[in-house]
Amino acid sequence: MSTLKIAPSILAADYANFASELARIEETDAEYVHIDIMDGQFVPNISFGADVVASMRKHSKLVFDCHLMVVDPERYIEAFAQAGADIMTIHTESTRHSHGALQKIKAAGMKAGVVINPGTPVTALEPLLDLVDQVLIMTVNPGFGGQAFIPECLEKVATVAKWRDEKGLSFDIEVDGGVDNNTIHACYQAGANVFVAGSYLFKASDLVSQVQTLRAALNG
């Protein structure tokens, strides 16, 4: 199993105080900051652009895990690379050129990830596995925080973990959506090793303790 990583989702933070919210994350033992990029077209909501990520970068040394929920993400690869993104994850549903986009992400100096929505067959991922550093399985429908976990998506996690082992690959498997102390252990058992959590973490006044509670729940 790859290293276990917690990725607080900045989508659930206080947007008016990103510097202090990033400082709160830095105080925890979380490894990533998960940043949801939404364009109002691929998903209904609108969130942050590359300029905001560049501003955040000044306040954090953690890994910036950027999840692009946008149409034609190829258009933004260079902008997010320059903004300081470390990982760029794109939806198979958002582009007709997934292979080329993943290659461009790597060429720009970032790690490349691919993601599918709950309604997308897991087989959409299989042709791309040799190209990626990370596979993200959405465990809610994307676009808004605070949604209920969809347990059926764990079958996809298990399938991807099986393919990874069969192919002798080493990419991370990430889950995003409804991850909390009650669901994280099942995600881990299915094969995930990167866990995005938003509402569950940021609702707590003590973020350090909440991250520790979430990590402890990994083992059931």
Provide the annotated binding site for substrate: 9, 67, 143-146, 176-178, 198-199
Answer for the pair 76, 39: CB distance below 8 angstroms, yes or no. no
State the catalytic residue, choosing from 36, 39, 65, 180.
Answer: 36
Closest CA to 187 of 162, 156, 165: 156
Q: Which residues contact 28 (CB under 8 A, 6 or more apart)?
A: 6, 8, 207, 208, 211, 212
Known catalytic residue at 72: no
* Rounded-to-10 torsion of CA 80, 52, 174, 146: -150
As given in the structure block, the two tokens for residue 20 are 């202090």
| ∠ CA 196-31-200, rounded to 5° | 35
Known catalytic residue at 133: no
State the catalytic residue, choosing from 14, 176, 180, 206.
Answer: 176
Q: Helix, strand, or coil here: 85? A: coil
Residues comprising the binding site for a divalent metal cation? 34, 36, 67, 176
| ∠ CA 213-214-218, rounded to 5° | 115
Closest CA to 81 of 102, 42, 61, 107: 107
Residues labelled catalytic: 36, 176
